[in-house]
A and B are shown apart, each in its own frame.
Chain A
Amino acid sequence: MGKKKIGIYSFSGCSGEQLVILECGAELFNLCDLTEIKSFPMAQSNNEYTLLDIGLLEGSITTERQKRELKEIRSHAKILVAMGICACFGGIQSMKLGEGGWKKRFQKVYGDEDKLFKTMKPLESKPCNAFVKIDYYIPGCPIDKKQFLHSITHVLNGSSPYLYQFSVCTECKWKENDCLLLRGLPCLGPLTRGGCGAACLCYNIPCVGCWGPAEVLNVPSEYRLLIEKGYTTEEIQRKFRKFGGAPMVECLKKIMKQSNYSATKAPRLKGGI
């Protein structure tokens, strides 16, 4: 059996995932030994779209050309892995996803579309799974080295990666940080996928949700909690949507549909403290 062929492809994002892979040290050499790397734009020239065992994607899709390339990669790859918040959820550039009005916003910034970007044909930024089937996700902004190595090892060996399903709070408690929500700060820890080691919380900086929505989350409860802490619905929605992508938009739509929604309607225990 020959070496497995892998390819790393970059769309719209900061290429942070590739940098993390480049920082893997000795394990990167082992990866190079065991695989044939067909594409890795930050590390080599002559990158190609070819038959692959594993395709690794970073960045969100923002042009017709990227969309075409993504579909081509999918057709060539046995397994596709989305890496990082942009590929998994759309990233910060997709924060208005689902709101409509993209054309108007685009025009405001770039002017008349017909006169610009003839070759690229811009699209509203969307995560990779809006266009093709993604087999596995490695969340993060950027991804975590350990989670990347864990995932690529499992995928190379034909098994499924197993990443933390819990939210940031779990690791935050392991690190014995004071809960910022209890201090009244707008921390998105309970809504956000764990794995970052509660990096910001260890410096008393509230979680902004950059790893994307957790597998299981209770958006209405956190929403109510922040209303109780005195934040406005606009502030909360902006915070939730910054990295939340399409899943968060859906959750928020449901919350806002409850027409008489207000903090006083929050279910409380009888005689609760």
Chain B
Amino acid sequence: MRVLWMKKEDLREFLESSKQFGELWGPVQKGEVYVYDKIDDFSRLILEPKRTLLPVKKLIHPPEFNILRYEGETYKTELENIPRRVVYGVPPCDIHGLLILDDLFRRYYPDPYYITRRERTAILGVSFCTPTEGCLCKSMGTDVVQEGFDLFFSDLKDFYLVWVGSSLGDDMVKVRPDLFNNNITRKHLDKFMECKKERDEKFTKSIDMTVIPDIMELSYDSPVWEEIGERCLECGACTMVCPTCNCYNVVDEPSISGFTGERRRYWDCCIFTEYSLVAGGDNFRATRADRLKLWYTHKLKSFGYSGKPACVGCGRCIDTCPVDINVLSVVRGLLGGKEKEGKS
């Protein structure tokens, strides 16, 4: 991987130049939360990475969109309307989330809607954010990232170390070669290690992922599932904000004449009763406890073909659940409340 460094004050100029590769998107403040939004006014862009309410998946696997429109017996997909975008400010945990979705939507079940958006979206990652309450990326091993981005900016206070992760990223750098410096010295490496160490010490919460997958296996009959099942509001918020939740529903919306119509796709959620309901009224996971157990099995034990836990430790479920059901509280519950709260 090509690694360069860049002066901090040059970032804005670089991002302006990157607009020729697509619409510039990045985190902005919306009320009390942060969201990815299109950046027309540069002063709105927040340069340090933030935990946005929805992860970057919202741009690659949108909450709701039309797959196609049909007229009579012909149909047209809406793939060509997908815009090119450059998304700045994506933290490593979100990129790991994308890598898990890549596995699913690019490798095993090639999904043209996901693939097209992914290919038309340049991911500009940023790291060495100050961990906030609920950041668990270090526990999950998602605090560093080697792939899945086009450019990655390690914020080392005085300068950025810029990792070029794709040929698109390389093209973006080549537009303004004057802003980047090839000469990486010992000084840069020392600063990198120093910032990493400083950041690592700031994590306040941890999960011991060397044991949790096994604990999950052993906790199939744990009373914890009943307890959280009783509390869960079944609002689905945890799955909407999770970077690795990917389920969706597809419905046809015919027009009244029946001649034209559209096919809509929108996020679904395995916490909903309806999700596991089948014709005839049987439900494979009839209780909330069953459904939550499935969700946490995917997040903390194994998911998909990789067989690895799908939790990327972004902390969004901790921020989002109104009744305190999240990876941290579930792990504490499964460990009988003994999970240490201190530093890792």
Contact = CB atoms under 8 A, between A and B. Distances in A.
A174 B267 contact: yes
Interface in A178-210: 178-179, 181-183, 189-191, 204
A271 B332 contact: yes
Contacts of B33: 176-178
A215 B32 CA distance: 31
A269 B256 contact: no
Interface residues of A, number: 49
B235 interface: yes
A272 B333 contact: yes
B338 to A, nearest CB: 7
Nearest to A216: B273
Interface residues on B, range: 35 or more
Interface in A249-273: 266-273
A169 interface: yes
A146 B31 CA distance: 29
A270 B333 contact: yes
B323 A225 contact: yes
Contacts of B253: 146, 150
A181 B254 contact: no
Given A167-B235, A217-B234, A271 B254 contact: no
B233 A173 contact: no
Nearest to B258: A157
B9 interface: no
A178 B269 contact: no
Contacts of A179: 237, 320, 322
Contacts of A160: none
B30 A176 contact: yes
Nearest to A179: B322
B43 interface: no
B279 to A, nearest CB: 12
A176 B54 contact: yes
B14 interface: no
A40 to B, nearest CB: 16
27 contacts: A30-B256, A34-B256, A34-B257, A149-B255, A153-B255, A167-B233, A169-B236, A169-B237, A174-B64, A176-B58, A178-B31, A179-B237, A183-B32, A190-B233, A191-B233, A215-B273, A216-B234, A216-B273, A217-B233, A217-B234, A225-B322, A269-B329, A269-B333, A270-B333, A271-B337, A272-B324, A273-B328
Given A27-B256, A150-B253, A270-B332, 14 more contacts: A165-B273, A167-B236, A170-B235, A170-B236, A176-B53, A178-B32, A178-B53, A182-B320, A267-B227, A268-B227, A269-B333, A271-B333, A272-B332, A272-B333
Interface of A: 27, 30-31, 34, 146, 149-150, 152-154, 156-157, 162, 165-167, 169-170, 172-174, 176-179, 181-183, 189-191, 204, 215-218, 220-222, 224-225, 266-273
